[in-house]
A and B are shown apart, each in its own frame.
Chain A
Amino acid sequence: MSTIHVKNISKSFGDTQAVKDVSFEVNPGEIFGLLGPNGSGKTTSIRVILDIYQPDSGSVEILDGPMTDEKLNRVGYLPEERGLYQDVEVNRCLSYLATLKGMSKAQIDKTLPAWLERFDLTEHQKKKNKELSKGMQQKAQLIAALIHDPEIIIIDEPFSALDPVNTQLVKDLLRELRSAGKTIVMSTHQMNQVETLCDRLVLIDYGKVLLEGGLSEIQDQFRTNQVIITTASPLPEKLEGVAKIEPMNGNFRLSPAEGINAQDLLGLLVNQGVRLNTFEVATPSLDEIFIQVVKKG
C-alpha cells in the first residue's frame, strides 16, 4: 500500500495547463525524487497533494484516503518559497508553527532544544528570523517541517542556501528519517543529491510525467555500452573495436563499434596491449538522463 497515490491529476490556471494527467506512487519508507525543470508542474503537484489546490480532475490518496484536517498534522512541508515570520524570534516562531501541527507546549519544550542543537541554532534562538543568514533560516525552516515527527515529509529544494557541511547534515538526517520509516518526497534540481539519496523518482515536464521508476532501473534503462577506462600509458589515436575515444579528466570514455559489447571490448583492449588501470561500464548520470529526456520532451 503506497503512502501517497497520485491518480491522473490535472490542474489548469486560466489558459495555462500546469499539470496534465500526472500519476505516481510514493511508497512507505522511501525517499522519492520529484524532478523537473522550472515551471514543469512540480510545485503545483505538491500543492495538490497537500490539498492547497483542488485538482480539476483526478485524485490524491494520502495515508489511505483523501487529505483531512487531522492528516495535516502528519505531514511536514518545506515549501519552495521559504517563509518564517521575520519579526519574530526563532524559538517563538518555531514553537507557534509546532503548535499548529498539534504539538503540546510540553512536547515542544522537550523537542525543540534538541533540534536547535542539532542544527547549531541554539545560540541564535532568541534572534529574530530576519537577523539570521539565509542558511540559518533554511535550517530553521527545516526544523519547522520536521519538529512534529511527521510520517510524510515533503521538501522542496532542501539544500538551497546550505554550505557543504550543512548539506551533509541534512543528507544524513534524511537518511536517518528514511531508516525510521518516514516517507520523504524531495523536489530538487541538484541531481547529484537525488543520485545519492533517492530510491525512486518521477520526472515531470510541461505538466506531464516523462519518466518514473527506481533510480537503478532508470539508469539501466539509459545505460549505453560505453566504457570508461584509465590507463598507465597514453592511448593510440585509433583502437580496434572502438568507434569513438573521448578524453575526460584523465579518463577516457570509449564508444564501442557496432556489434561490440563491453566484454568484447575489454578483450580487444588487452589484446592490443593497452595497459588498463581501471575499466568500468559507464553509468549515465541523472544530469545526462534529465537533459536527454527533457530535450526529447
Chain B
Amino acid sequence: MNKTLLVATYEYKHHVAKKRFWLTLLLLPLGFAILILLSMLLSRSSYDFRPIGLVDKADIISLEPDNSAKSTFFNPQIYLHTFPDEAGAKKAVETGEIQGFAVIPEGYLASYQLDYWTNKQPAGEVQSKIIGFISQNLLAAEEADPAILERLSSGNQISLESLDGKTKSDGTGWHKIFVPILIGILNLIVVMYSGGYLLQALVEEKENRTMEILLTSVPPREMMTGKIIGNLSVGLTQIAVWALILFAGLIIFSDRLSFLADIELSGSYLAVSLALLLISFIFTAALMATIGATMTSIQESQSVTGLIVLPMMLPFYFINVFISNPNGVVARLLSYIPLSAPLALSMRMAFTSVPAIEIAFVFALLIGLTVLMIWLASVAFKRGMLQYSQKLSLRSLFKKEANHA
C-alpha cells in the first residue's frame, strides 16, 4: 500500500491540531480587520463630516444639492445645504448644525473667488464638494451634457503602446495590480508558513532521531511526497479560509471598495495564476525539504530560509518595471524563476497580453524544475537524514550514493 497518503494525513492533522495554526488562521484576518477599523476610526475622528452651507449672492445656483447618498459609518457623506443669507448660515454654524458655509459673491463670474466661513480647517472634500456643485450649476445654465462634467473631473487616461504593437500598457490602471499582489502575498505567507514548518519538522526529525524509524517504514520518495502534500494542504486550507473571509469582507464593504469593480478577471487569468501558485508551492516545499534534510539544526535552516524569501520578493521591488514594461527583460526573467514566477507572470498578464506560447514555456520550465526538486529532495532525505552532525553539501547530492552516509 502506498504510504504517501498516511504521511500526508498525519502531517495535516498534526499541524491543524496545533494552537499555532488556529492563531495564525484567525489572528491574521482579525489583525487586518482591526487595522482597517482603526484607520476608519482615526479618519472619522480627524475629519468633520457635518453638512456645509452655501449662500448664493451671485444667483448662479439653480439645481438642488444632491443629498440622496446615505451616510453610514463606513461611508460617511458631507451633505450640502443652501441658505438664503449669511445670517441664517452663521446661526447654523453657531448651533453646530453645519461645520461652515461658502458664500458665492455677486462678482463671482468675474473673479471666481469664494469665501468660506468656519471655525475649523475644512477637509479637502469640502472644497471639492462646493466647487463640484457650482460647476454643475454653471454647466446646467449652459445646458451642457452632464457627462461632460464627469469626464472633466476624472481627467484623461493615456495608454502606451510600442510601434510593433507587442507591448501595451495602461499606466493609469494601477488597480490591476491588486490581484497579482494578492497572489504574491498569499504565495509568501503559505511558503513561509507551511514550507517553513516542513523544513522545521524535517530538521527536528533529524535532531530527535525519529528519521531512522521512518526510513525503515516508508520509502523515502513516498515519505517526502506525503510530507509535501500534507504541509501544502495546511497552507491551502489557510488560503481557502482567508479567501472566504476576504470574500465576505468584499461583500460587506463593497461600497468602500468601489475601485475593485474596475478589475476585470478572466477565467483563464485566474486559472493560470492559481496553477502557477500551486506549482510554486510544490517547488518551494521540495526546496525547503531539501534544505531541511541537509541541515543539522533549526537555527541553521532558518538562516537559509531567508535566502528563499528574497527572490519571492523581487517582483515587489520591480513593481514599476512591471507596470511600464511588462514584456521587458526584467519582467520576463522573473517569470522564469520558480520562486518569483507566480507574482511576476501574474503581474505581466494583468498589464499586457502574454503570448500563450510563453505561458506554456513558463509552465513547462516550472514543472520540470519542480520534478527535479522533488527528486533532489528525496535523495537529500535518504542521504542527509542520517548525517546527524554533518551538513550534506549540494555537490554530494549528485554523487554516487556509496560515498555517503
Contacts and interface: CB of A to CB of B under 8 A. Distances in A.
A180 interface: no
A12 B212 contact: no
B212 A72 contact: no
Given A13-B405, A14-B403, A50 B1 contact: no
Given A77-B213, A100-B217, A13 B403 contact: yes
Given A69-B219, A100-B3, A100-B214, A83 B405 contact: no
A65 B41 CA distance: 74
B208 A83 contact: yes
Interface stretch (A84-92, A115-123, A274-282): A84-92
A53 B405 CA distance: 7
Contact of A52 (B1, B6, B216): B216
Specify which of A14, A96, A101 lies most central, judged by the most chain B CB atoms within 10 Å of its CB: A96
A18 B214 CA distance: 23
A84 B214 contact: no
Interface in B207-243: 208-219
Contacts of B3: 100
A72 B7 CA distance: 16
A79 B210 CA distance: 9
A31 interface: no
B405 A102 contact: no
Interface in B264-281: none
Contacts of A13: 403-405
Interface string B1-17: 10100110010001000
Interface string A142-177: 001000000000000000000000000000000000
Interface in A60-83: 69, 72-73, 75, 77, 79, 81-83
Interface string B372-385: 00000000001000
Given A88-B14, A96-B10, A81 B212 contact: yes
Interface residues of B, number: 28
Contacts of B193: none
Nearest to A80: B212
Given A13-B404, A13-B405, A14-B403, A79 B209 contact: yes
Contacts of A45: none
B60 to A, nearest CB: 76
A99 interface: yes
A136 B388 CA distance: 24
Specify which of B205, B402, B403 lies most central, judged by the most chain A CB atoms within 10 Å of its CB: B402
A68 to B, nearest CB: 10
A18 B386 CA distance: 15
B401 A54 contact: yes
A21 interface: no
Contact of B1 (A79, A88, A102, A144): A102
Nearest to A50: B216
Contact of A12 (B209, B215, B382, B403): B403
A99 B208 CA distance: 20
B217 A52 contact: no
A12 B402 contact: yes
B402 A84 contact: no
A19 B296 CA distance: 25
A56 interface: yes
B14 A83 contact: no
Contact of A85 (B210, B217, B219, B401): B210
Given A77-B216, A96-B10, A52 B386 contact: yes
Nearest to B219: A69
B32 to A, nearest CB: 30
A72 B220 CA distance: 12
Contact of B218 (A44, A82, A100): A100
Contacts of A88: 14
Contacts of B404: 13
A73 B218 CA distance: 9
Contact of A18 (B14, B212, B213, B405): B405
Contact of B402 (A54, A72, A81, A101): A54
A105 to B, nearest CB: 11
A62 to B, nearest CB: 12
Interface string B353-388: 000000000000000000000000000001000101
A56 B14 contact: no
Nearest to A69: B219
A115 to B, nearest CB: 16
Interface string B100-131: 00000000000000000000000000000000
B181 to A, nearest CB: 36
A69 B223 CA distance: 12
A108 interface: no
A227 interface: no
A185 to B, nearest CB: 13
Specify which of B209, B216, B382, B386 lies most central, judged by the most chain A CB atoms within 10 Å of its CB: B216
A82 B213 CA distance: 9
A99 B1 CA distance: 11
Contacts of B213: 77, 79, 83-84, 97, 144
Contacts of B402: 11-12, 54-56
A84 B403 contact: no
Nearest to A16: B405
A99 B226 CA distance: 14
Contacts of A81: 209, 212, 388
Contacts of A11: 402, 405
B382 to A, nearest CB: 8
Nearest to A79: B212
Contacts of A101: 217
A72 B208 contact: no
Contacts of B217: 72-73, 97, 100-101
10 contacts: A12-B403, A14-B403, A50-B215, A56-B402, A75-B216, A79-B216, A82-B209, A84-B208, A86-B204, A97-B217
Given A52-B216, A84-B213, A86-B208, 9 more contacts: A52-B212, A69-B219, A72-B219, A77-B216, A82-B209, A83-B209, A85-B210, A88-B14, A96-B10
Interface of A: 11-14, 18, 44, 47, 50, 52-56, 69, 72-73, 75, 77, 79, 81-86, 88, 96-97, 99-102, 144
The 7 closest A-B pairs by CB, nearest first: A83-B209, A83-B210, A81-B209, A100-B217, A79-B212, A13-B405, A77-B216
